[in-house]
Amino acid sequence: MTSFVGKWKLLVFVLFVGFYAFAKADPPATIAHTIYSNTEIATFSIDKSSTRTEIFELFKELFINHSVKAKLNGYKRHGGVITLLDLTLTDQNGAAFPLNLQNDKGIDTICLTLNPALNNIVEFAPCDVALKAVTPVKASQYDQFYKATTVDSTEVEEKETNKKEDKVEVNSRQAAQDVIAARKAKVDTEIEAARLRVKQQQEQRRIDVLARKAKLETQQEENRIKNEQLIAERTLKREQQLREVSERQLARRQEAEAARIAKLEEEKRQIAIETNRLETLAQEERNQLETLEKERLAAQQRQEQRRLQERAR
């Protein structure tokens, strides 16, 4: 009887916490939908008999429907059961939920509870120790519990049980509302903290961008100054080279002009010497002509005198 009452309490708790929670007999990954204060709670589970393929199918569903990323860090299977499971779930808000279970006889069943409206993970832990997780119950169990209740309970016990159910229902509903309120407050706090972190990250990125921009502008200014200095040095060097070339060309022209003038002076001197020699020769010839003329005149005078002497005889 005590066992039955315990099972009945468990059934009532599950009905109000998991409301139409489903767990299929074959696949280990189970989803349940429960409505609490206009908030939808989705629950999944993985047990020791889950295969690797089934786990990855669950990961795929979580990512497609709830934007939850899963990373399988370790997985061992022995004797048809999972003996090691090491994985990490990360929701779209960036919250990470690591879990590492190891048992040679098979790991405990794991419960995952999340809020599909916000796509944030509420709980990810073994079902028997989870504080917030809604543990899925197989659908076949509901009918068994219901039949056991109708067959074994008396009318008086049923009334007492109904009163207890009402009380449990009120307590469960209040507890569920408190849990939802706490979860909502936690989610709001996490969202606000996430917004603050995003804002801080954006501000830090803006500061980093401005710092990189200032650094880049400083480097560009330094490079511009270096380029201008390099251009000025090259220009000055080029002007100096041109000036040296001009000076060398001028020196060569001056040397050539001096040599030409010296040559002209030498030619002028040679011409003067030749002129003097020619004038000397001409003077000598004139003197010879004068001497010859004098001798001719003297000869004529002598001939004239001889002719006169001959006439006089």
SS3 77: strand
The Cα 144–Cα 4 span in angstroms is 11
pLDDT at residue number 171: 67
Task: Report the Cα 138 to chain-centroid distance in Å.
Answer: 49
pLDDT at 81: 93
Cα separations in angstroms, 126 against 111, 135, 178, 210: 6, 9, 22, 48
Consecutive H or E run containing 240: helix 155-312
* pLDDT per residue as tens, the chain (313 positions): 444 444 445 544 544 444 333 333 333 333 333 333 334 577 888 988 988 898 999 899 889 888 899 998 999 999 889 999 999 999 888 888 999 999 999 998 998 888 877 778 888 888 877 554 343 333 333 333 334 333 343 444 555 566 666 665 566 667 767 777 787 788 888 888 888 888 888 899 999 999 999 999 999 999 999 999 999 999 999 999 999 999 999 999 999 999 999 999 999 999 999 999 999 998 988 899 989 988 888 888 888 888 888 887 6
What is the tens place of the pLDDT at every residue in 151-182? 343 444 555 566 666 665 566 667 767 777 78
Two tokens, residue 161: 């049980």
DSSP E strand boundaries for the chain: 32-36, 39-46, 69-78, 81-90, 96-102, 110-115, 120-126
Rounded to 5°, the CA angle 28-32-33 comes to 160
Q: How do strand 110-115 and strand 120-126 relate by DSSP bridges?
A: antiparallel
Q: Indicate the domain borders of the chain.
A: 2-153
Nearest to 138 by CA among 294, 239, 49, 32: 32
- The residue written with tokens 């916490």 in the block is 17
Helix/strand/coil for 81: strand
Q: What is the pLDDT of residue 216?
A: 93
CB under 8 Å to 311, separation ≥6 — which residues? Answer: none
> Hey, what amino acid is at 40?
E
How much is the pLDDT for 187? 80
The confidence score (pLDDT) of residue 140 equals 36
Instruction: Determine how many CB atoms are found less than 10 A away from the CB of residue 121.
Output: 21
* pLDDT tens-digit series, residues 243-280: 999 999 999 999 999 999 999 999 999 999 999 999 99
Tokens of 239: 């002007």
